Amino acid sequence: MDGADGPSDRLVSASEGGAASSGPAASAAAGDRGASPLLELNNVEVTYDEMILVLRGLSMTVQRGKIVALLGSNGAGKSTTLKAISGLLPSQNGEISQGSIQFDGRELRRCDAADIVRGGLSQVMEGRRVFGHLSVEENLIAGAYTRRDGYGDDIEMVYEYFPRLGERRAGDAGYLSSGEQQMLAIGRALMSRPRMLMLDEPSLGLGPLLVAEIFEIVERLNRELETTILLVEQNATRALGIADYGYVMENGRIVLAGHADDLRRNPDVQQFYLGLSESGERRSYHDVKHYKRRKRWL
């Protein structure tokens, strides 16, 4: 999480640059001169049912080999952002009505989901969504459906990262614990050999020990396999603890961007996402929810 590696050298709020499309993401892209981002969203708008505007000119970049956290409250548009990238919007009557999404220089806007996976970008959706009637190993094999080469070595690689899955390989996935199902969902995504992995709320519904274990494995995947990670999380403390860079979303826009260390020190992020007062004391959720100070980025 070295400060010299991220897209910018300070926090940037949308209010500094006017519109969101010319604020955080524009500054982020400009700050990493000479580096070509692996993923780049430029002024993306997403609508559902041709009338509900969810993403409103969203721009952001993800640099190769980095972990980037996308933070925000419920309804901010985080999951919609991932679905726009991975080509899953049409299944929910959603569409990208404006803007561009490029992965390694390739425009994704009109690609279907399978082609995007073949191109090296995989998403682990919120809620795990394993095939409960299939065995653990059959779930992993399903994750390799876009490949035309052998995948036996990759199954063993998944078991090395997730030993519990190896112990349960012949058992039905529906009988796994919540934590084991989350491991299986990540392992299944790894079977496509992604260059970039998008994780949607991997800590959802899990106890603290399991959350710590999964985040440790995510760090290892980034470090050992050099897999770029885009991490959507409401657990801002955990997310910023492993991320290199972060974005904060509200109402379909990026409102704040910066290096993870800088975001952790930002008073507004501490107050509204980490549950800390300006003195560093932890506040209850009730106190945070009713805190009267207006966020400085609004």
The whole-angstrom distance between residue 207's C-alpha and the CA centroid of its chain comes to 20
pLDDT tops 50 at residue 17 = no
Average pLDDT over residues 63-82: 94
Q: Which domains does the chain have, with CATH numbers?
A: 21-265 (3.40.50.300)
- The candidate with the shortest Cα–Cα distance to 72, out of 85, 62, 58, 86, is 58
Give the per-residue pLDDT at 286.
44
Residues of the chain with pLDDT > 90: what percent?
65
pLDDT tops 70 at residue 218 = yes
> In sequence order, what are the beta bridge partners of 250?
253
Give the per-residue pLDDT at 128.
78
Dist. CA 198–CA 191, nearest whole Å: 14
Give the per-residue pLDDT at 148.
78
Please, which pLDDT band fits residue 31 given cuts at 50, 70 and 90?
Answer: very low
Give the per-residue pLDDT at 100.
96
Mean pLDDT (the chain) is 84
Q: What is the pTM of this model?
A: 0.83
